[in-house]
Structure 1
């Protein structure tokens, strides 16, 4: 079997990125001076700004998200209203169960199955699948989100997006709570 140098190089990069993500453990953040509690951080109003980059690093979409979080017992509901730079708008509503011990499980309308996550220190790792509209098709893609609480008001999210186990892009989002919350 003969493959081009470019394809071989791309496969090497994809495999090293996948290996890099897999080698990081949320527990390594346990001793952080900041402690992330999702239901505290996302309670009320939060604004977020993000970009989606394809696997070659080209920015394909930019967006803003207005998020409203409510807590009812051990269930955190996040209503996310997306405004994309091309004018498209979308809404996702997460229902997230607080399981204790830093564990979370949730679902949303475009998330088949369950999302599962774990907090340790200032970091949260959240894994799930999404039925993503791409043109006239629906792609089932995996998300491996890593969120880091930078200070009381700023949370940074880096998500690695895969399809059939191959990274197809990355999403970077900066969340910010309003001043004086």
Structure 2
């Protein structure tokens, strides 16, 4: 089982696997400005447990960024999160958010970004603390594919798959006008 987990699964990936590949994922560019996101969350048996759309806004001052997120789930629930990201010149990342326990850490290599952290679910979702591994992959057209696994006591309890796309400035202006 341990061999399969290490060599034939999601957990077998390493940021080094993506070194030297392109396009280069620059958090300051690709997680900047308005971003649209759509995704699904799969439960432990592989069935879709939830669907969501999210509006995100990334801002950067040098190597420190804020990614504000507003998730709207198919249940009607709305969730807000604001990440603070710090990018070292080596490609290492640290991340914090109100529902993240401690400090998240990860790395950017080529078109891939890996981030690991512990998240505390809302009381409505049980209040559990889960171990999360996030992978984001930059595509040639600028779309980001996000795949995340959530584990409790080492057992996978959920998986998320989402797309993230920067919203062109002209489209973002139309969206804001339509929302008013």
Alignment equivalent of 1:52, drawn from 32, 41, 51: 41
CA distance in 1, matches of 2:51, 2:164: 14
Partner of 1:100 in structure 2? Answer: 89
Please state how far the C-alpha of 1:180 moved relative to its aligned partner: 6.5
Counterpart contact for 2:72–2:79, Cα < 8 Å: yes
Please state how far the C-alpha of 1:98 moved relative to its aligned partner: 1.3
CA distance in 1, matches of 2:125, 2:118: 19
Given the alignment of the two structures, is residue 147 of structure 1 paired with residue 136 of structure 2, yes or no? yes
Moved more, 52-61 or 24-33: 24-33
Structure 1 residues 146 and 140, CA, compared in 2 at 3 Å: closer, same or farther? same
Q: How many pairs align? A: 169
Partner of 2:115 in structure 1? Answer: 126
The 3-state SS of whatever aligns with 1:113 is strand
Please state how far the C-alpha of 1:26 moved relative to its aligned partner: 1.1
Alignment equivalent of 2:164, drawn from 152, 159, 175: 175
- Which consecutive residues of structure 1, in runs of 5 or more, have no partner in the other structure? 1-11
- Which consecutive residues of structure 2, in runs of 5 or more, have no partner in the other structure? 171-180
The 3-state SS of whatever aligns with 1:87 is coil
Structure 1 residues 64 and 94, CA, compared in 2 at 3 Å: closer, same or farther? same
**Equivalent runs, 1:1-181 vs 2, <5 Å:** 16-17=4-5, 20-133=9-122, 135=124, 137-179=126-168
The 3-state SS of whatever aligns with 2:84 is strand
Structure 1 residues 136 and 124, CA, compared in 2 at 3 Å: closer, same or farther? closer
- Structural RMSD (CA): 2.0
Task: State the TM-score, normalized to the length of structure 1.
Answer: 0.86
CA distance in 2, matches of 1:27, 1:175: 23
Task: State the TM-score, normalized to the length of structure 2.
Answer: 0.87
Counterpart contact for 1:18–1:167, Cα < 8 Å: no
Please state how far the C-alpha of 1:125 moved relative to its aligned partner: 0.7
Q: Per-residue displacement from partner, 1:65-105 (whole Å, max 9, x unpaired)?
A: 10001112321000001111111101000011111111110
